Amino acid sequence: DTGVSQDPRHKITKRGQNVTFRCDPISEHNRLYWYRQTLGQGPEFLTYFQNEAQLEKSRLLSDRFSAERPKGSFSTLEIQRTEQGDSAMYLCASSKPGQLYEQYFGPGTRLTVT
């Protein structure tokens, strides 16, 4: 069990470009969550998956954001046409079945949009 991993750890991109982040959850965890965190704030929920099904999406998640978890293992979060306001830490977390209160977070991907 190596924990939740995220790649890349840092991403600098120019406004208007597309970016994609990857999250690998703990292997026996069927739930996977994406959050966004800006400076001085707690993580804000974006979306979550149970196995490969995307069950909930936040109103914060505009149509420029899309997430997938095609085989119920790793997940990707894509942001199209990035804006400066997208600059944030994007966090991924996973949990075991029935234990959503016990989420384990990855180290995050820090996105800077210039």
Partner 1 sequence: QKEVEQDPGPLSVPEGAIVSLNCTYSNSAFQYFMWYRQYSRKGPELLMYTYSSGNKEDGRFTAQVDKSSKYISLFIRDSQPSDSATYLCAMVDRDDKIIFGKGTRLHILP
Q: Which residues bind partner 1 (CB under 8 A)?
A: 4, 33, 40-45, 48, 55-56, 58, 91, 93, 100-108, 110
The CA-atom distances, in angstroms, between 48 and each of 28, 53, 61 are: 16, 9, 12
Token pair recorded at residue 17: 């470009």
Q: Listing from the earlier edge strand, what are the strands of the sheet with 5-7?
A: 5-7, 19-24, 75-79, 65-68
3-state secondary structure of 14: coil
Q: What does DSSP say about strands 44-50 and 53-57: parallel, antiparallel, or unpaired?
A: antiparallel
| Minimum distance, C-beta of residue 101 to partner 1, in the bound complex (Å) | 4
Contact assessment for residue 23 and residue 5, using Cβ atoms and an 8 Å cutoff: yes
Cβ-based nearer residue to partner 1, 80 or 104:
104
Nearer to partner 1, 68 or 100 (CB): 100
For partner 1, the closer CB: 49 or 86: 49
Q: Which is nearer to partner 1, 74 or 80 (CB)?
A: 74
